[in-house]
Amino acid sequence: MYIADETWPELGDYLEDESIALVPLGSTEQHGPHLPLATDHIIAEAYAREAAERTGYLCTPTINIGVSPHHRQFHGTMWVDAPTFRNYVESFTRNLAYHGIDRVIYVNAHGGNVEHLREVGRHLRDEEVLYAIEWMWNDSIPDLVDDLFDQNGPHGGPKETAMIQHLRPELVREDRLEDARDGGLKSIDEAETTKFGARTFYDAADNTDNGVLGDQTDATAEKGEQMFEEATAQLVKLCEWLDSQDFQDLMPKKHV
């Protein structure tokens, strides 16, 4: 169920029986010469909508701009400062709690959002407003991603390329896949991004000239479909698990 398609009486009927909402979040940022800036929020919305369709739970509109200053050197990248993002997401989530939602899954497709979504979830849980957790699609199927790609790349690599080939093939610049591979960083190990235990870079441009990593020519729509199906199944299981929990069991434990 997509919240924006419903009327308020219909939503009232939903909230009489259910209290879960899926919130898709992504980014609008560079993904190399071959993928659109919309890559992350396209993926997040696709997962959230599909899981909502399969389970009947509520899906909210997508938050399209996230914490992306580490991609700012590339044209078109948009971002908000981390405190602004956290405040917005928390306010948005309290909004849902006001209407009767007491558990939220942040369906996330941008690595830069992860720590901030977890912080928001902790804050809301500590106040016993509701229980909110972050879910990242590729983290739900790590073995499959590793099996499908020799160099999957953490950003703009074959796993994201394959996902967009499956979800929105018309947006993939297929004639730029080799450029993406050859002008980027094929292996993160080659970047030597840590020295003596310290992470030594802040921006994507510190490591890659065109903003992406991995071998994009290893991507296919078929691989994208396989990942989409497997990760959606994981998200559906998460929804079902969350629905089965007693709310008080999800809240902070008492002091020992």
**3-class DSSP state of 104:** strand
What are the tens digits of pLDDT across the range 96-105?
Answer: 999 999 999 9
| Residue 190 confidence class, pLDDT cut points 50, 70, 90 | confident
Q: What is the DSSP letter of 124?
A: H
| Average confidence (pLDDT) over 119-134 | 98
Dist. CA 104–CA 93, nearest whole Å: 8
**3-class DSSP state of 205:** helix
User: Which domains are assigned to the chain?
Assistant: 3-250 (3.40.50.10310)
- Percentage, residues of the chain above pLDDT 70: 100
What are the tens digits of pLDDT across the range 150-168?
Answer: 887 789 999 999 999 999 9
| Average confidence (pLDDT) over 19-36 | 97
**3-class DSSP state of 106:** strand
- Helix 82-98 to helix 114-126 angle (10° resolution) is 40
What are the tens digits of pLDDT across the range 195-242?
Answer: 898 988 889 998 899 999 999 999 999 999 999 999 999 999 999 999
pLDDT of residue 136: 97
pLDDT of residue 256: 93
Helix or strand holding residue 86 (H, E): helix 82-98
In this predicted structure, the answer to whether residue 54 has a pLDDT above a threshold of 80 is yes
What are the tens digits of pLDDT across the range 71-81?
Answer: 999 999 999 99
Q: Are 52 and 18 in contact (CB under 8 A)?
A: no
Q: What is the value of pTM for the model shown?
A: 0.95
Q: What is the DSSP letter of 62?
A: P
Q: What does each C-alpha distance from 209 to 71, 128, 198 come to in angstroms?
A: 11, 45, 22
Dist. CA 142–CA 71, nearest whole Å: 24
pLDDT of residue 21: 98
